[in-house]
A and B are shown apart, each in its own frame.
Chain A
Amino acid sequence: MYFALSLSLLAIGTEVRADGHYEIIINPSVKERILSSNTLRSIFSMHLKTWSNGAKIRVFVLSDDDQLHQIVSKEKLNVFPYQLRSTWDRLVFSGTGQAPIKVNSSEEMLEKVASTPGAIGYLWRANINENVNVLEIK
């Protein structure tokens, strides 16, 4: 029973992942619709701090060992998760920047990005609803 269930969960899991259905999501207050991947990396590296209209960017991430975090890091940002971590640590402990805000689940990611002005994060497409916008990365 357990086995069958976990197998089916696994099957659904790989299905979700196989066609790469995840998105960079933003709070509806953000006016940007398209970003270059370099700008996106600059945002997740916590170097670019404001949107083009001057509002604060607030970055939300899942745990370093979360699978989606690792995929977004490697595929969208084109860096390894450990490099992001060391970039953030350098900023935080030299005072020259801040760390992104860590959320513990997809639900929390959705909730925080939907409710925080200037927020940016990422989610599996299946977990996204109309409370957040999807950002196109070119």
Chain B
Amino acid sequence: MKMLTCSRLSSYFISSVRWLGKSVVVLWFVGDISAQAQQPDQSQKQSESAKAPVKWVQAKDLPTEAAERGNVKEKNGVISTALKWWRSTDRPWDLQIHGFITQAYVLTSDNNVFGKSHKDGSFGLTEAGLNASARPLPKLQLSAQVLSRRAGEGNTGMPRLDFAFLDYRLYSHETDQFGIRVGRLKNPFGFYNDTRDVAFTRPGILLPQSIYFDRTRNLGLSGDSIQLYGETAVARLGTISTQFGVWLPIVSDKDTQLSVLGTDVPRGQLSREVSYIGRGIFETNDKRLRLGISGIWLNTSYDPSSKSNDPIGPGAFQFSPIYFSAQYNTERWTLTSEYAIRHLKYDNNFHSTVLDGQNLYGESYYFQGEYRFTPRLEGMVRYDVLYTDRSDRDGSRWAEKAPGRHGFSRFAKDITVGLRWNVTPEFMLRAEYHHVNGTGWLSRLDNPVPGDSKQYWDLYSILASYRF
């Protein structure tokens, strides 16, 4: 019965997501129109603050312009009234509501990314989120976000609680802050993980997959935790902000099971065990230089099914990556690089020759440059490298161990170029091209037959995103 409701629910959500996809196309047009409508409005707005003192001149001498302006305002009437209501400052507890919706089209020469993207392409990636935050007391903030992500076999679009927590500021004095957060929290690692599903905050349609795997995203995304955070000024140089959390990871999804156990239909289940996470970021006062270090200590173990004869034993798995991040910002350039070394360790209790005793270090890094031609038009180039096992970078030793294995599934080198066009501050379009050597970060759910995958492949993608 429960299953039935569940499948009904999910088919309902899938159809609603399809509808969302269509509505994005509509949004695209609306965005275009409103952008055009806003053009004259914006040029006025820019000089408005300067003009204001001589407003009486305008009112008296420019009746025609004033009338035109009124017209433009009327065109945006319904949307802007609604937005004004959202933005209204009179709501109790300083309530704020924000959200976003993103639709991408992905076409690949070989291999599948976010659904059946091979040859015909697919509209397989849809992301939508809605969040609310409130401050019932000056030092207390409550925040929650619901997220729907449809991306290939791993994410069906079923909405999930992305975060929901309370944040209490224990100490606050000028540039020094200290506080505690309790609830479901986004995991703070690297520069991008906290907001990885919001297209506006990502440096591309795809994040550097070597570090921000979309394949095992749910594992690293958020968890139920208690976090302490602090921020303090360092002499006159800048600020250091730190976060440290104790958390229970979310390990119940197919992607995670497949990655950890090698099967997405285990008879038993992975159990949540106490894990740790921490991040420190140093930022100069002008935010030009940002340096970060983050680490995760993730624990999970397998609970075999007691009823059936489970082939997998009660093993324990540990994942402990460390990330180093650096960014330099100028008016036009943003240069970013991150490096990760990932320790994966299985104990000897899985009763599996593949898993037992596996103990390896993966390595990842990328270099990325973003260039703002104008505030509205940005270009991006990136080189992103993943090695599943740094002591076997080309995967040859791994491939020798069993027939039918491809060494190229143990690494990926991705060259990316992309364009971003901020049509309005709320609406964005993107286009991106990837040339990839290796299949190291491909989802095994979307690419179930290893023999079908190709070593060299291309990915083309466009994306539209709206936020409020």
Contact = CB atoms under 8 A, between A and B. Distances in A.
Interface residues of B, number: 62
A47 B177 contact: yes
B49 A106 contact: yes
A126 B53 CA distance: 6
B138 A17 contact: no
A63 B38 CA distance: 13
Nearest to A36: B174
Interface residues of A, number: 57
Interface secondary structure of B, over-half rule: mixed
A48 B172 contact: yes
B174 A48 contact: yes
Interface in B169-189: 169, 172-175, 177, 181, 185-186, 188
Given A54-B138, A80-B329, A124 B167 contact: no
B195 A89 contact: yes
A112 B239 CA distance: 31
Interface in B18-65: 42, 45-54, 57, 61-62
Nearest to B163: A95
Contacts of A39: 174-175
Interface in B208-266: 229, 231, 233, 239
Given A5-B62, A96-B143, A97-B141, A66 B49 contact: yes
Contacts of A102: 87
A48 B135 contact: no
A127 interface: yes
Contacts of B174: 36, 38-39, 42, 48
Contacts of B52: 105-107, 124, 126-127
A95 B143 contact: yes
B194 interface: yes
A9 B51 CA distance: 7
Interface string B292-334: 0000000000000000000000000000000000000101000
B54 A12 contact: yes
A49 B145 contact: no
Contacts of B62: 5
B89 A93 contact: no
A65 B53 contact: no
Nearest to A127: B52
A42 B173 CA distance: 10
Residue from B52, B96, B144, B169 with most neighbouring chain A CB atoms (10 Å): B52
A74 B165 CA distance: 34
B448 interface: no
Nearest to A90: B195
A13 B329 CA distance: 30
Contacts of B169: 49-50
B372 interface: yes
Q: Which are the 7 A-B pairs with shortest beta-carbon distances?
A: A95-B143, A13-B50, A94-B194, A126-B53, A93-B195, A56-B138, A39-B174
Given A9-B54, A49-B169, 11 more contacts: A12-B54, A39-B175, A47-B175, A64-B375, A82-B372, A93-B198, A95-B186, A97-B141, A98-B133, A106-B52, A116-B89
Interface of B: 42, 45-54, 57, 61-62, 87, 89, 94, 96, 98, 100, 129, 131, 133, 135, 138-139, 141, 143-145, 163-165, 167, 169, 172-175, 177, 181, 185-186, 188, 194-195, 197-198, 200-201, 229, 231, 233, 239, 285-287, 329, 331, 372, 375, 425
15 contacts: A5-B57, A16-B53, A41-B285, A42-B175, A56-B135, A63-B45, A67-B49, A90-B195, A95-B143, A95-B165, A95-B186, A104-B45, A116-B89, A126-B52, A127-B49
